[in-house]
Amino acid sequence: MSGKKKFGAFAGVFTPSILTILGVIMYMRLGWVVGNAGLIGAIIIIVIAHVIAVTTGLSVSSVATDKKIGAGGIYYVLSRSMGVPIGGSIGIAIYVGTAFSIALYLIGFAESFNSYFGFGMSVNDFRMTGTIALILLTALALISTSVALKAQFFILAAIIISLVSIFFGTPYHAPETVPLFSTEGSVPLEVVFAIFFPAVTGFTAGIAMSGDLEDPKKSIPSGTLIAIGVGLIVYLSLAIFIAYNINTEILKTDYNVLMKMALFAPAVVAGIWGATLSSALGGILGGPRILQAMSIDKVTPKIFGKGKGINNEPVNALFMVFIIAEAGILIGELDVIARVVSMFYLTAYGFINISYFLESWANPDFQPTFKIKRWIGLLGFIACFGVMFKLDIIAMIGALAVVGGLYFWLQRKEVHLQSNDVWRSVWENVVNKGLKKIDGKVDENSNWNPNIILFSGESKHQSYLLELSKTVSGRTGIVTNFKLILDRENDKPLRKTEQIIRDETFKELGIFARQIKVDNIYTGITNIASTFGFSGVEPNTVMMGWPKGLEGSEEYAKMTETLLHLDYNLLYLDFDRNTKFGNYQTVDLWWRETDSKNAEMMLNIARFIIAAPKWNNTSIRVLFVNNNNVDSTIIHTKITKLVEDLRVNVEIKIINNAVEQKPFYNIIKEQSKSTDLTLVGIPNYQIEKQTEFILKTNHLFEAIGSTLLVKAANNFNVLDLDFVKSE
């Protein structure tokens, strides 16, 4: 590494950037821009383009000074801050944009070169000249990056001389009045902007050389921003000068008019050729380094990561750039290539800006030495996509689709680096603020949002319990499944990382899963119910399988008593192994006169059930046992009103039992024997009568299908039918 040649801000960042900024668009299209947009229109276009350039330059400079910068420029910065998927997808967009911009510069060179020497001016002639220039520049880059960079100083001198020659030139059919805005027959401003925009994209040429810089953290901000500032001054000055000294109609049609009005035409020719060739050379030097860095990170094929010599020159990546640039040259039309380049760069710049915004907002570890206001990144993001929308909405959608496709491809590829992922920081920040907001506002009568602690066990029908838990939790509810590992010999708990279960079944259902060691199942459940959760999203429901065979267990009775004391909603599923959930078409809700809070909870559960895909064709019945000879019409009316408030479409059935006085469970056996899922409330009873209740309930389960027993906590409302007062 000691023998590797390193460059400072001027040679490594400012020079390649300014040479690309003051390039083909300035010489070959700025007059055309002024002619079609008018002076004020041209100034607006230049300013808007530079707003994007300045915000992006500031954003990337700030991100670049936060951590060590390696080879790969913008790709390296983004991949280490936002993660490989977004860094790689934007890196590829920047890379392709850079490669196509080489074609843009060389076709511009071909236009001027062929015109000056009187060669053919057809598209094929431009393709031929551009291809020869590409081969020669690629050969120069292969010989030595250092030689190529040194050559830029001579080109910079040529550009300065050419600009002096233009400003001291004589007016060329100067207009009597300067058109301030576009005139009749002019090209639409959107098209003018799209063709002009590549003029301000040159600042990425310096950032792409990050791996060859002596001190990237200092060189990138200073070199980039000075280059953008100088470019803005030159473009505004030249636009004003052109508007006052050259006729508008000539500007629209003659791309070589600057050469004709200059004090010394050969100086302008030298400037045009130097600017176009140096800009192309900047892309030829920077593009392969982006591809090489991505290949080293396994984002792109590793063959492009191999380099040669002490400086690890990206030879293989250079040939790939050559192929893409040649494809652009074969398009042959500068204006078409310019519009393609604009879309790639605008997409990339938009994401660079939002990268900085998210990084500074969400990442507590973001401590750049070059500090700017956070809103600058957001402004740049809005400006980029606002301009893209105005330019070409179809192209914008296409660009976003390509970048989105690359993002998901890289996400599936699962490339991992020792880098920060800003999206994790964003979600942590959002969750943190959301929890504080939720915790700060207590609504005792708000809608039930389930947060379920699930003990599903490891039986053959575990998947059905998992499925139903997710169904009754609704779209926004949370389910956390706990696997209890009985271990009475080793009292050391599992490590925190070992407690997390990442199983495909849980992932598909959206269920969190944990495992912990316990020396007693019942105390384990009690301890979890007592301690699990945190402010804002406290668990409110415990769900498990129905405890057959535990009717005499004192430990089970004590656990139940504790759960009731903690005021949890309790859900017990008795799963019928033969009928399962049937055809997912019928649900019965049993409402007895003593069910006060359970009824409201069951109706809430019914709302979530019918919203689940498997249950979307379900018929729900509310069955009420009338033991006191109350008028059925009154009961039906009151239940209908309560059900309407909860927005659940149900069939209401009143079962008059005042005369026969059949046991409640016997009526359930008669009415729900073929129902796919039956919901029954657990009545208030003394814990010492648990054995009797469980045995009686077991007999019920033998006669009907899968059943969910419900015990509501105190936060549910009492749906009091109040029949006595109504009579």
3-state secondary structure 422-460: HHHHHHHHHHHHHHHHHHCCCCCCCCCCCEEEEECCCCC
Q: Which of 725, 590, 551, 596 is nearest to 669 (CA)?
A: 590
pLDDT of residue 595: 61
Give the angle 369-372-374 at the CA atoms, nearest 5°. Answer: 125
Rounded to whole angstroms, how far apart are CA atoms 42 and 444?
61
E strands, 354-450, are: none
* pLDDT over 90 percentage in the chain: 17
Give per-residue burial for 95-123: e unless 16+ CB within 10 Å, then b: bbbbbbbbbbbbbbbbbbbbeeeeeeeee
Neighbour count for residue 709 (Cβ, 10 Å): 19
Rounded to whole angstroms, how far apart are CA atoms 212 and 70?
9
Rounded to whole angstroms, how far apart are CA atoms 326 and 332?
10
pLDDT of residue 206: 65
Rounded to whole angstroms, how far apart are CA atoms 456 and 435?
27
Give bridge partners of residue 448 from the DSSP assignment.
Answer: none
Amino acid sitting at position 470: K
Domains of the chain by range and CATH? 9-423 (1.20.1740.10), 451-726 (3.40.50)
Name the token pair of 600: 């409201």
Rounded to whole angstroms, how far apart are CA atoms 715 and 710?
14
For the chain, give percent helix, strand, coil, nearest 5: 60, 10, 30
**For residue 408, which phi and psi values (nearest 5 degrees)?**
-70, -30
Which position has the token pair 């301690």? 531
479: Cα within 13 Å, side-chain hemisphere: 24
Give bridge partners of residue 515 from the DSSP assignment.
Answer: 483
Q: Which of 369, 375, 317 is nearest to 75 (CA)?
A: 317
pLDDT of residue 1: 40
Rounded to whole angstroms, how far apart are CA atoms 170 and 167?
8
Asked if residue 221 lies in contact with residue 372, where contact means CB atoms within 8 angstroms, the answer is: no
Name the token pair of 254: 């003659």
**For residue 286, which phi and psi values (nearest 5 degrees)?**
-80, -40
Q: What is the pTM of this model?
A: 0.66
Rounded to whole angstroms, how far apart are CA atoms 515 and 485?
7
Neighbour count for residue 411 (Cβ, 10 Å): 15
Rounded to whole angstroms, how far apart are CA atoms 32 and 490?
82
Low-confidence ranges of the chain (pLDDT < 70): 1-6, 67-72, 81-82, 144-150, 205-212, 309-311, 364-365, 414-425, 427-428, 435-436, 438-448, 535-536, 551-552, 593-596, 645-648, 685, 719-727
275: Cα within 13 Å, side-chain hemisphere: 28
Which position has the token pair 């292969």? 142
Q: Which region, left, alpha or beta, applies to residue 4 given φ > 0 means left and ψ of -120 to 50 means alpha?
A: beta
At residue 620, the 3 state secondary structure works out as strand
Rounded to whole angstroms, how far apart are CA atoms 288 and 279?
15
CA dihedral 37, 40, 42, 48 (to 10 degrees): -120
Neighbour count for residue 403 (Cβ, 10 Å): 19
Rounded to whole angstroms, how far apart are CA atoms 234 and 260?
19
Q: Which of 703, 649, 678 is nearest to 591 (CA)?
A: 678
Residue 704 DSSP class: S
Rounded to whole angstroms, how far apart are CA atoms 299 and 416?
10
pLDDT of residue 233: 94
Name the token pair of 471: 């169904």
Amino acid sitting at position 661: Q
Mean pLDDT of the chain: 82
User: What tens digit of pLDDT does each residue of 525-547 get?
Assistant: 999 989 887 766 788 899 998 87
Give bridge partners of residue 541 from the DSSP assignment.
Answer: 452, 569
Rounded to whole angstroms, how far apart are CA atoms 368 and 65?
5
pLDDT of residue 211: 64
pLDDT of residue 239: 93
Rounded to whole angstroms, how far apart are CA atoms 21 and 201?
7
